[in-house]
Structure 1
C-alpha cells in the first residue's frame, strides 16, 4: 500500500469513527470550540493550534482541513471582512466539514468558510473539477492520459484552485508529514506561491530528531499515523528557507516527544515564517537598532545587526524587521528628512550616522509608507 493510499484509507476511517492514535494532546481555545458541533471536535486530528496566529481580516488557507475544526475556529477570528478556505483531498472529510456549514454560518453570523477538494502539494489543481472531467472523459488509453495532463495544465494555468498571491495566512495542523517525500519540496513551493507578499505561515506538524530510516517510511501504519513521514527538525526549517521564506522559526517546540520509535523522537512543533515583501530596495535613510541580548545577529538577506547600533537599512527591510514577523527584536528609526531614496542597499554591517536620524524618533511614528518603525 502506498503512503497516499494508506492516508486516504486511514482518514476515511477517521471521518466515520474517532481514531485516538492520530491525536496529540493540544490545548485549544475553549471559547472558539464552544460553538462547534461535537462531531467536528471528535473527528479532528492534529498536533497544534495554528488558529492562534489568525488576525482579523485575514484570508486564511488551511491545508488538510479534515473535519473543519481549525477552519471554523479561524472563521470566528477573521471577522466579517475575512475568509477561510479549507483544502482536503478526502471526500469523507470534506463531507463531514460541509455538513455543518449552514449551522456554523448561522452561529458565526455569515458564511465565511469554503471547503475545496485538492492536494496540498498541488494547490492549483481543482480535484472536484477533475472528477467531473473524468466522468465525461475517462482515461482508457495512453492518448487519453496525455490529453488529461494537457487539461490539468490548462486548469492550473487558467482556473487555479488557489490563486497566486491570494492568501494572508497559510495554516496546517499535522498534515505536511503525510505528503510523500518526493512531493514535500513542491508542497512548500506551493505554499510560497499562494501567500501574498508580506503574508504569513503557521504550520503545526511532527518532526523527528534524526532522519527517519527507509524501513520505517515503508510502514503504512507509521506513515498514516503522522510519524514516519516527518521531516528531520533542521530540514523542516531549511525547506521553508529554500522555498524563499524569511523569518523562519520554531514558535512552539514540545519538550517531551509524542512518540519514540526505535530510539527516534517524534515531537509536535509549530513553525512560523513570512513571504518577503514584493517591493524594490530603496535607501531613504532608515535605521534599525537590534535590542539584544546577543552581540550581533544576521537576517536571511545577509544583513548583520550589532547590538545597540543604528544599522543602515532600506525602507523595505525596516518594515520587515519592525513588523510582527520579528517581534520586538528591533527598534525602527525613520530618516530625519523625507527623501525619495535611491535603489541601493547599504553593505552588510553599515552603521547609519546619528546625524541622519537624530530627532526622527520624536516626530515620525512609522517608516515612510508604514511598517511599524517607532
Structure 2
C-alpha cells in the first residue's frame, strides 16, 4: 500500500484509540432528530467536514453503505431511517475504528429504545475493493475520506461506489475542496493528506471525476468555509483557503447531451404569456422560479430572451429541479 495510505491508517488508528475532537472541523450542524440520542464518545469521534445524512435520500427503508465508519455517528443517523437488520453497512480498513464504533453502538442501544445494534453491519474492507455485491445499495456515503486519495485511487473508489449502487441509487459525499493551486510540497505531506487538508482538489475537477465515473446527475448541496493554511503555520508562501463541499451523485443514465449538474441556479420567466416552454421538456410558469441544472441554464441563456432571468449558483441545491 502506498505510504500516504499507511499514514492515514496510523492517524485514524490513534483517533480510534484516543478520540481527537480537533482532528476534523465539521461545518454542518449535527442533525437533531426526535428520539435520537448520541453517545458522548460517538460525538467526540465525529471525524468529517460536513454531513451525508439527508432525509430526502432516506425514504422507503433504504439499504445504506457508509465507507470510513469513524465513531459511528452517521451510521446511527442512517439507522434512524433504516430500521432493519443490516440495513446500514459500515466499511473501514482500520480494525481499531471498527472496534471503537462497535462499542459505541452498544452504548447507543442503551440510549435509544428504537435502536438495535444489529441494524448496523460493520465490515472490514477497503474503499478500493468494497466487500459489497453489485447493484445492492440504495444510498452510499463517505465523509472526508475520498479527499485523502490521490487521483488513481480516487477513481477506483468512485468506480466501486458506482458498482455497488442500484440504478438511480445515490452517492452522498462531503469533502474539502480548494480552487487555489495546492503547493506540491503540501500535497506530498502524508500527514496533511491524512488530515484531509492537502489532498483538496478544485470543485470542477471533483465534479468531473463523478461524471466521468458515469453519474448522470450531480447535486451540489452545500459549499462552506472550512480551513485556512497560513504561511508560518504551514509550509506555504501564500494563504490557502479550503472549503467543504457536500455533493450527491445519482446513478442516473448519462443524458446524450451530458450530465445534469445542479449548483443552485434558477430560471424565472417574467414575460406576458402564462408560461414559456423551451420545447425540450422545461416549462417556466410566469414569475415562478424553477431550479435548473447548469446545462439548462446555458441553453436558456443562449436563447437571448430578455424575459427570462437566470440566477447565479448558490451552491445550496435542495431538489425540485428541471431534470
- TM-score normalised per structure 2: 0.73
Residue equivalent to 2:58:
55
Q: Which runs of 5+ in 2 are unaligned?
A: 231-235, 255-278, 303-316
Residue equivalent to 2:309:
none
Residue equivalent to 1:258:
227
Secondary structure at 1:30's aligned position in 2? coil
Verify the 8 A CA contact 2:215 2:253 in the aligned structure 1: no
Verify the 8 A CA contact 1:170 1:195 in the aligned structure 2: yes
Deviation at 1:297, TM superposition (A): 6.0
Residues 41-84 of structure 1 show CA distances to partners (whole Å, capped at 9, x for unaligned) of 11221111111244131111111112111001110122348811
Residue equivalent to 1:7:
8
Residue equivalent to 1:274:
250
Residue equivalent to 1:137:
none
Runs of 4+ in 1 over 4 A off after TM superposition: 292-297, 303-307
Residue equivalent to 2:267:
none
Give the one of 82, 97, 120 matched to 2:101: 97
Secondary structure at 1:272's aligned position in 2? strand
1:45 aligns with 2:47: yes
Verify the 8 A CA contact 1:62 1:85 in the aligned structure 2: yes
Secondary structure at 1:253's aligned position in 2? strand
Residue equivalent to 1:310:
none
Task: Give the number of equivalent residue pairs.
Answer: 269
1:289 aligns with 2:270: no
> Going by fraction, where is helix more abundant, 1 or 2?
1
Deviation at 1:206, TM superposition (A): 0.6
Query: In the aligned structure 2, how far is the partner of 1:82 from the partner of 1:114?
Result: 5
Secondary structure at 1:269's aligned position in 2? strand
Residues 277-308 of structure 1 show CA distances to partners (whole Å, capped at 9, x for unaligned) of 59xxxxxxx98334366999636xxx96799x
1:330 aligns with 2:322: yes
Counterparts in 2 of 1:33 and 1:272: CA distance versus 1, 3 Å: farther
**In angstroms, what is the RMSD of aligned CA positions?**
3.3
Query: In the aligned structure 1, how far is the partner of 2:154 from the partner of 2:143?
Result: 15
- TM-score normalised per structure 1: 0.64
Query: In the aligned structure 2, how far is the partner of 1:199 from the partner of 1:295?
Result: 21
Residue equivalent to 1:243:
213
Deviation at 1:212, TM superposition (A): 2.4
Query: Which structure has the higher relative contact order (CA within 8 Å, separation 6+)?
Result: 2
Give the one of 71, 75, 85 matched to 2:75: 71
Q: More deviation in 96-105 or 113-122?
A: 96-105
Aligned 1:123-134 pairs, distance under 5 A: 123=130
Query: In the aligned structure 2, how far is the partner of 1:227 from the partner of 1:89?
Result: 20
Verify the 8 A CA contact 1:63 1:120 in the aligned structure 2: yes
Residue equivalent to 2:19:
18
Verify the 8 A CA contact 1:15 1:96 in the aligned structure 2: yes
